Copies of this chain bind each other. A is one copy, B any other.
Amino acid sequence: MYTLGIDVGSSSSKAVILEDGKTITAQRVVEIGTGSSGPEKVLDEVFKEANLTVDDMANIISTGFGRFNVECAKGEISEITCHAKGALFEIPGTTTILDIGGQDVKAIKLNGQGMVMQFAMNDKCAAGTGRFLDVMSKVLEIPMSEMGDWYFKSKNPAPVSSTCTVFAESEVISLLAKKIPKEDIVAGVHRSIASKASALVRRVGVDGTLTMTGGVARDLGVVDAISRELGVEVKVAAHPQAVGALGAALLAYEKINR
């Protein structure tokens, strides 16, 4: 039996097809979100990958900011609930989730039973979000996918004292002008985003297992910097961007198998 979860965010669309509530058959991410062709596209792609059609799905649940505009969905569930469900499936024992997306950061605290106890979000300030890294990757002329490698090369991280994206960008420009090694600037940048994101985690509390999700979790430099900042081990979901869609697919399965 197949179920589908689709997560329509503000800047990306994600879909997961699950078999018998246990195995991921297919998962896709499309980097355009609500109000675009993203949801349609991600559905096309995930069905193609699984070699299945919408008629093969026993249930479909949508989540995320754009969840109310998914025609084929048989129900909608909030992204926090789906996120918690998906993260616990990927990393059993997760008690805190830090989700860093392209434009927002969420911290979710779970109890031992996987229930959402606390929740904090920043979607007003680009600092601490993927957008911050985006801006820095451009000014440093280093592709996002290589930022982590540079981070781990640094022996002497440069101080980037502003958390504000705009002021930090100016700092980076003047560090570059001073010929500070790029790896040290990258490490300073990672520390800055880690400091801002960690502040959000502290608002919900951290103990036990901290799991990172969202596109930024693919940058292992950020993961390491957050681990050092908070003094805890940080685990990364296997499909960091698709955790919400996965949770939706899991809940779609549970709904018809209770």
List A residues at the B interface (Cβ < 8 Å). 103, 124-126, 131-132, 135, 162-167
- The answer to whether B166 touches A165, judged by C-beta atoms less than 8 angstroms apart, is yes
> How far is it, in angstroms, between the C-alpha of A166 and the C-alpha of B164 when the chains are bound?
10
- The answer to whether B131 touches A162, judged by C-beta atoms less than 8 angstroms apart, is no
The residue of chain B having its C-beta at the shortest distance from the C-beta of A163 within the complex is B124
CB distance from A104 to the nearest CB of B (A): 10
- The answer to whether A103 touches B165, judged by C-beta atoms less than 8 angstroms apart, is no
CB distance from A144 to the nearest CB of B (A): 16
> How far is it, in angstroms, between the C-alpha of A131 and the C-alpha of B165 when the chains are bound?
12
CB distance from A172 to the nearest CB of B (A): 14
What residues of B have a CB within 8 angstroms of the CB of A103 in the complex? Answer: 167
Complex A-B: 19 CB contacts under 8 Å: A103-B167, A124-B162, A124-B163, A124-B164, A124-B167, A125-B125, A125-B164, A126-B164, A126-B165, A126-B166, A126-B167, A131-B166, A131-B167, A132-B166, A135-B166, A164-B165, A165-B165, A165-B166, A166-B166
What residues of B have a CB within 8 angstroms of the CB of A165 in the complex? Answer: 126, 164-166
Given contact pairs A125-B125, A125-B164, A166-B166, enumerate 8 new A-B contacts (beta carbons under 8 Å). Answer: A124-B162, A124-B164, A124-B167, A126-B165, A126-B166, A131-B166, A131-B167, A135-B166
CB distance from A233 to the nearest CB of B (A): 30
What residues of B have a CB within 8 angstroms of the CB of A126 in the complex? Answer: 164-167
The residue of chain B having its C-beta at the shortest distance from the C-beta of A167 within the complex is B126
CB distance from A1 to the nearest CB of B (A): 42
The residue of chain B having its C-beta at the shortest distance from the C-beta of A134 within the complex is B166
The residue of chain B having its C-beta at the shortest distance from the C-beta of A166 within the complex is B126
CB distance from A100 to the nearest CB of B (A): 15
CB distance from A167 to the nearest CB of B (A): 6
The residue of chain B having its C-beta at the shortest distance from the C-beta of A168 within the complex is B126
What residues of B have a CB within 8 angstroms of the CB of A162 in the complex? Answer: 124
> How far is it, in angstroms, between the C-alpha of A10 and the C-alpha of B150 when the chains are bound?
31
CB distance from A105 to the nearest CB of B (A): 13
Q: What 8 pairs between A and B have smallest CB-CB spacing?
A: A126-B166, A165-B166, A125-B164, A126-B164, A131-B166, A126-B167, A124-B164, A166-B166
